[in-house]
Structures are given as C-alpha cells and as structure tokens.
C-alpha cells in the first residue's frame, strides 16, 4: 500500500482566520492594547512574507537541481536568515549570515546555493562563490 501525504497546506487567509480565532478564544496571547485586528494584520504580513520567501527559495533550488529531500534544510536556512535580518543590520548582519552559511555548509548544503539564496531572496552580498568573505572576516578569528 502506497503511503499518502495527508498534510494540507493552509492558505495565508485560512491561517490568519485561525490565528484571529485563537486570540479571541484566549488560547493565543493577545497584545496589551487588545487590538486583535492589528495583531492579525501583523500576522498576515509575516505569513505572506514567509510564503513569498519560501517560493523564492523553492525557485532557486529548482533552478539548481537540488534534490527534493533537501528543500526543507535550505528553507530552514532561509527562515534563519530572515530572522537575522530582523535582529541585525549592517556589518553585524553580514557577519551573522556569513556564520550561518558556514554552519549550514557543515549540514551538507552547498555554499554556492546558500549564497544565491542570500543574494536573490534577501539582497545580501556576502561572499564570492569561492567562499571568500573579503573584509568580513573578524581579525580575532584569523591565525
């Protein structure tokens, strides 16, 4: 018997509607100002951004012939970089993303593809294809 995948992908609209219901029911925390509509709007914006980024990453992976089984690892990299983009900026962002590329490379991801995700999805120029980070290296790390 062939197994079937019973998971369903919820649309952004469905996810936002469920989130708003959980806020009203009290199973999800509500903001201090009790503005659930604004909270749901922020959730919608984040969900739409996440879906767009996931689609862009999927497109890059398809272009480069990445195995389907590795999509989740690269998507997780994209989620991590998205969080870094919200938490850091400037040189500190570039250093954090360079470290993330090194980390995900150790997981078996290709540096070229990780760099392409950074460049095409997040508009970050970090390193050349050979992995050289030019002026991004921390002098304390050099031996």
C-beta separation of 53 from 78 below 8 A: yes
pLDDT tens per residue across span 21-73? 888 888 888 777 778 888 888 989 998 998 899 999 999 999 999 999 999 99
> Phi and psi of 107, rounded to 5°?
-80, -5
> Phi and psi of 101, rounded to 5°?
-60, -45
Instruction: Please choose, from the candidates 3, 112, 104, 106, the residue with its C-alpha nearest in 3D space to the C-alpha of residue 66.
Output: 112
CB count, 10 Å around CB of 66? 18
C-beta separation of 114 from 88 below 8 A: no
Give pLDDT, residue 85.
94
Go through the chain and tell me how many residues it has.
143
pLDDT tens per residue across span 117-142? 999 999 998 755 444 444 333 333 33
Structure tokens, 32: 């201090």
Distance between CA 5 and CA 25 in Å, rounded?
30
């Amino acid at each position: 018997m062939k197994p079937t995948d019973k998971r369903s992908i919820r649309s952004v609209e469905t996810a936002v509607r469920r989130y708003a219901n959980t806020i009203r029911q009290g199973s999800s925390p509500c903001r201090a100002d009790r503005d659930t509509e604004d909270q749901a709007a922020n959730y919608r914006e984040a969900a739409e951004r996440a879906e767009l980024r996931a689609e862009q990453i999927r497109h890059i992976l398809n272009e480069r012939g990445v195995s389907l089984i590795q999509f989740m690892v690269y998507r997780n990299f994209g989620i991590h970089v998205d969080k870094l983009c919200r938490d850091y900026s400037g040189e500190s962002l570039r250093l954090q993303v360079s470290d993330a590329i090194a980390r995900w490379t150790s997981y078996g991801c290709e540096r070229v593809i990780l760099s392409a995700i950074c460049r095409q999805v997040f508009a970050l120029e970090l390193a050349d294809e050979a992995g050289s980070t030019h002026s991004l290296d921390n002098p304390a790390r050099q031996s």
